[in-house]
Chain A
Amino acid sequence: MNLFRSEEHVERWLAGRAPGATIPVAQLAALAFAWWSDRLSPDWRPHTRDQNQAILDAAGLTGDFWRLP
């Protein structure tokens, strides 16, 4: 899970390997703040699979690649 200077850098780095998913960094930041913001809360409880899937969906990350088991 890396940051790249551009989509062209992603493609060159993959060097023909099957790609995963590429998203703009602003979308990543929105996902990260929704996913991790409660981690230091003294009242933290584990997220359910459905809660995490809802966070992905709300960040616009839908489709088979982003489907949790």
Chain B
Amino acid sequence: MDEGDLGLRNATYRLVAELGRVPTADEAARATGLGLDDVRARWRSLHEAHALVLDESTGEIRMANPFSGVPTRFRVLADGRSWHANCAWDAFGICAALGADGRIETTCPDCDEPITVEARDERPDDETLFFHCLVPAARWWENIVFT
């Protein structure tokens, strides 16, 4: 990841905050003045450095962690907008990244009952819930979408 990659990475995340969603490559190119091929090549470099995750079939962003580029089971209402997170960890991460309180909506994978938890002042308002991580840390990036 060179300085140009880092500049595009930070511009991409700035667009996430401005748009309320992950930008397309075309939007990133227009916002930065870079060519579309340059954006795609630098996003590829960032993907390989685990700074974001591309959809291999489209070349668009699948994850600008903790933000998801596609709808998921983890919805976050924060900073006056609705977001999708990649997982429960990232759902709290969206509140962290925005520096905002938020409301996380998901379902229990066991019973499919809705779970709603508020993050207020960096703490959950319901501390009876539990988080389960199936994949050990050493293997998270073997298949980050599954993780």
Contact = CB atoms under 8 A, between A and B. Distances in A.
A binds B: yes
Interface of A: 1-7, 9-10, 12-13, 19-33, 35-40, 42, 44-46, 56, 64-69
Interface residues of B, number: 54
B138 A9 contact: no
Nearest to B11: A42
A22 B109 contact: no
A68 B138 contact: yes
Given A22-B132, A36-B96, A42-B10, A1 B108 contact: no
Interface of B: 1, 6, 9-10, 13-14, 16-17, 49, 51, 65-66, 87-99, 104, 106, 108-111, 113, 115, 117, 119, 122-124, 126-139, 141, 147
A36 B136 contact: no
Contact of A13 (B9, B49, B109): B109
Contact of B108 (A3, A33, A44, A64): A3
B107 to A, nearest CB: 9
Contact of B131 (A28, A37, A66): A28
Enumerate the 4 nearest inter-chain pairs by beta-carbon distance, A residue then B residue, closest first.
A36-B93, A32-B92, A1-B87, A13-B110
Nearest to B111: A9
B17 A40 contact: yes
B92 A37 contact: no
